[in-house]
Structure 1
Amino acid sequence: MKYVISLVKEIVKKRKMILDLALADFRKRFVGSYFGIVWMFLQPLVTVLIYWFIFGEYGMKTVPPVPNATYVVWLVPGLVPWFFYSEALNSITGCLQEYSYLVKKVVFKVEMLPVIKLLSCLLVHFFFVLIMLALYAAYRQPVFATWIQILYYTFAAAMLALAFGYFTSAVNVFFKDMANIVGICLQFGIWMTPIMYDEAIFTSRNPWIGTVLKLNPFYYIVAGYRDSMLTGDWFWRRPTMTLYFWGVTIVVMLVGLRMFKRLRPHFSDVL
């Protein structure tokens, strides 16, 4: 626990440096790219269009469980946090290799690198939140005070990505297949989370499937985004899920930091 407290103090102390490096990482993504920042939005928007076409008005015609909500309005609050989480976890997993020159510097605290990558992904995420708000305005969706709650659920998704990221980034230095394992798990995870489909199509026949889906901690994030944007429910309306999510996140964070601390002395030797 002392290690966690020390890490938080270090982040607060060097917050300007961390923010500067995060902004530099954000800009670096588009160096040498002709269309630059356009690519940041193109792939996620194409993904939304594909799911909308297959599951929405022109395909399976999935009916959202929220009254007076079109499929795309229901879909986007599920996909926006998933785009952020998957990008953050992938980026954090490979951050030690990407910034190997900083890892080898004795004076640089390596634990900052996952945080820097996370903040860089957050900048992208806030752009998508603005697009989501513009979509809701275009569809004339009612405005709820709970929209502000998106900040809380974004923080929750960030902590979950960082918790897993400390573990995967440390292991990835020695076991390069970890990045591929993370990619496969994320492909599997998006279908284990009811983002494109209504979970009722399964739980109506097998109620235990609902329990299995809720064991996935990201279920809490997706449900929270939709509560905030569509129904106006505050996070304390899900007390059991809130306690479960933060319990899992804290345990994973402690395990990840312990693994990171144990392997840290050998990073520079391998890289």
Structure 2
Amino acid sequence: MRTVLQLLKDIKARRRMILELAAADFRKRFVGSYFGMVWMFIQPLVTIAIYAFIFGPYGFKSAPPVPNVSYTAWLVPGIVPWFFFSEAMNMITGILQEYSYLVKKVVFPVELLPIIKLISCSFVHLFFFAVMLVFYLVNGRMPMLSWIQCFYYSFAAAMFALGLGYLTSAVNVFFKDMQQIVGILLQFGIWMCPIMYDEKLFFSKAPWVSVILKLNPFYYIVAGYRDSMITGSPFWMRPKLGIYFWGLTIVIFFAGLRFFGKLRPHFSDVL
């Protein structure tokens, strides 16, 4: 608990520096690139287009899980938060190597680095959130008050990524393969939410699969985004999932931050 309180004090005391470093980190990704930040958005947009084509009306013609909602309109609210989470995990895992010159400074609170990278990733996420809203409006969906809930679910995804990021970034200093392992787990994880398919596919033959899918904490984020954008259901309509998600996320966050703090004295020696 003391570590968390110290982290909150550091965030408050250095909030301007955090935002400046996050903005600089965001700009740094495009240095030397002719098309700049366009590349950051092309791959996710192409991914959405591919899945929409394959599973949409021109491919396998998957039945929309929600009546009167196209497959693409159902897919987008699920995959947008996943883009945010997966990018944050990949970036945070390698943050200590990327900013090794700050890690070696005794006076710099290294625990802030994952937060800086998380905010940097949030800039991209806001863009895709805006694209999602425009897509819904263009397709004739009337705005709903529940759309605001997406900010809550984005915050939930950020906290989950931050807790895991403290663990993976600390391990990555001593075990360089951690970043590759995280990448593989993320490729596997996108199919365990579920995002591309409806879990009801398994109800008739293997109903236990739905239970397993709900053990994935990110299931709560995906379901919440779709509740907010499509059905308009409030976040308190899934109380058990919410308690499970936040209970697990809080445990992971405290454990990750404590683990990070234990290994911190050795970071500069290895880097």
Normalised by the length of structure 1, the TM-score is 0.99
| Superposition pairs of residues 106-185 of structure 1, within 5 angstroms | 106-185=106-185
TM superposition shift of 1:33: 0.4
Do 2:156 and 2:221's aligned partners in 1 also have CA atoms closer than 8 Å? yes
| Superposition pairs of residues 1-271 of structure 1, within 5 angstroms | 1-271=1-271
Do 2:65 and 2:71's aligned partners in 1 also have CA atoms closer than 8 Å? no
Do 2:170 and 2:263's aligned partners in 1 also have CA atoms closer than 8 Å? yes
SS of the residue corresponding to residue 33 of structure 2 reads coil
Query: Which one is further off, 4-13 or 259-268?
Result: 4-13
What is the CA deviation profile of residues 41-77 of structure 1, one whole-angstrom value per residue up to 9, with x for unaligned ones?
A: 1000110011011111111111222111111111000
TM superposition shift of 1:146: 0.4
Superposed structure 1 runs of 4+ greater than 6 Å apart: none
In structure 2, list runs of 5 or more residues that go unmatched. Answer: none
In structure 1, list runs of 5 or more residues that go unmatched. Answer: none
TM superposition shift of 1:185: 0.4
What is the CA deviation profile of residues 77-107 of structure 1, one whole-angstrom value per residue up to 9, with x for unaligned ones?
A: 0110000000000000000000000000111
Return the alpha-carbon distance in structure 2 between the equivalents of residues 93 and 40 of structure 1.
Answer: 18
Return the alpha-carbon distance in structure 2 between the equivalents of residues 205 and 122 of structure 1.
Answer: 40
TM superposition shift of 1:254: 1.2
Return the alpha-carbon distance in structure 1 between the equivalents of residues 64 and 108 of structure 2.
Answer: 49
Return the alpha-carbon distance in structure 2 between the equivalents of residues 248 and 203 of structure 1.
Answer: 26
Query: Which one is further off, 66-75 or 88-97?
Result: 66-75
Return the alpha-carbon distance in structure 2 between the equivalents of residues 177 and 35 of structure 1.
Answer: 31
Sequence identity percentage: 68
What is the CA deviation profile of residues 132-174 of structure 1, one whole-angstrom value per residue up to 9, with x for unaligned ones?
A: 0010011011321100001100000000000100000000000
TM superposition shift of 1:5: 1.3
What is the CA deviation profile of residues 92-136 of structure 1, one whole-angstrom value per residue up to 9, with x for unaligned ones?
A: 000000000000011100000000000000000000000000100
Return the alpha-carbon distance in structure 1 between the equivalents of residues 159 and 193 of structure 2.
Answer: 18
TM superposition shift of 1:246: 0.2
Return the alpha-carbon distance in structure 2 between the equivalents of residues 64 and 118 of structure 1.
Answer: 33
SS of the residue corresponding to residue 59 of structure 2 reads coil
Query: Which one is further off, 117-126 or 7-16?
Result: 7-16
Q: CA RMSD in A?
A: 0.7
TM superposition shift of 1:203: 2.3
The one-letter amino acid paired with 2:30 is F
Return the alpha-carbon distance in structure 2 between the equivalents of residues 105 and 174 of structure 1.
Answer: 19
TM superposition shift of 1:205: 1.9
Return the alpha-carbon distance in structure 2 between the equivalents of residues 260 and 254 of structure 1.
Answer: 10
Return the alpha-carbon distance in structure 2 between the equivalents of residues 108 and 45 of structure 1.
Answer: 37
Query: Which one is further off, 90-99 or 60-69?
Result: 60-69
Total equivalences in the alignment: 271
Return the alpha-carbon distance in structure 1 between the equivalents of residues 117 and 44 of structure 2.
Answer: 19
TM superposition shift of 1:216: 0.1
SS of the residue corresponding to residue 88 of structure 1 reads helix
